[in-house]
Amino acid sequence: MRILIRWAITAVAVFVAGELVSGFELRERVVSMLIVAGILGLVNTLLGTVLRILSIPFPDRDDD
């Protein structure tokens, strides 16, 4: 259920961006908003996971 709420919020944000930014147009509004929201959700999920993995602190191997 939480995923659907986030997806809807992202779709509304895409709609608002489309209305505010000139040169940004969605042809079939509802379908396009949902597709773009899904793609943004996937990118955020994958990028967030990669960044969390890269931010793991590694021990210092300075054994002097």
Owner of token pair 């147009």: 25
- State residue 51's pLDDT score: 87
Q: pLDDT digits over 3-62, tens only?
A: 888 888 888 888 888 888 878 777 777 888 888 888 988 898 889 888 888 888 877 776
pTM (predicted TM-score)? 0.62
What pLDDT, on a 0 to 100 scale, did the predictor assign at position 64? 54
Q: How many CB atoms lie within 10 A of CB 26?
A: 16
d(Cα 38, Cα 35) in Å, to the nearest integer? Answer: 5
Are 26 and 14 a contacting pair, CB within 8 Å? yes
